[in-house]
């Protein structure tokens, strides 16, 4: 636990208990400034790595990975189409059965 947090906990523990009141006592707002450190070398290194990765991805896209991704997408869409067709067929069969039952009951 950071030292500052420990000190804050001890300060809160040592505070006198407050008497309940119908009026709210305003407390001063805390100011927590966290300094920002800019590292130019790290920034340049990250940009260079990002550029190299994007170039490698573009090179790999024309190869085997692109074909496998394309095949996976096609299989997923084909599976979704088959699922929708079977669902529609099931709905038509149920509708025909209900019409047949209604015809025999009302006849």
Element (H or E) spanning 35, and its range? none
Distance separating alpha carbons of residues 9 and 28, to the nearest angstrom? 18
Range of the domain at 61: 37-68
Residue 51 is assigned to a structural domain of this protein: yes
pLDDT at 32 over 60: yes
State pTM to two decimals.
0.32
HSE value, Cβ hemisphere, 13 Å, CA-based, for 107: 6
More confident residue, 15 or 92: 92
Residue 47 is assigned to a structural domain of this protein: yes
Domain count, the chain: 1
Residue 53 is assigned to a structural domain of this protein: yes
Distance separating alpha carbons of residues 98 and 27, to the nearest angstrom? 72
The pLDDT tens digits of the residues spanning 48-105 come to 999 988 888 777 666 666 677 778 888 888 777 888 788 888 999 999 999 999 999 9
- Longest CA span, the chain: 88
Residue 100 is assigned to a structural domain of this protein: no
> Helix crossing, 40-61 with 64-106: angle to 10°?
70
């Amino acid at each position: 636990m950071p030292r500052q947090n420990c000190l804050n906990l001890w300060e809160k523990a040592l505070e006198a208990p407050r008497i309940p009141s119908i009026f709210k006592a305003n407390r001063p707002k805390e100011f927590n400034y966290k300094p920002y450190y800019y590292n130019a070398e790290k920034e340049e290194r990250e940009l260079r790595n990002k550029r190299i990765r994007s170039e490698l991805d573009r090179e790999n896209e024309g190869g085997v990975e692109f074909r496998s991704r394309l095949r996976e997408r096609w299989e997923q869409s084909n599976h979704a189409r088959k699922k929708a067709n079977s669902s529609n067929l099931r709905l038509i069969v149920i509708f025909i059965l209900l019409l047949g039952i209604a015809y025999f009951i009302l006849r």
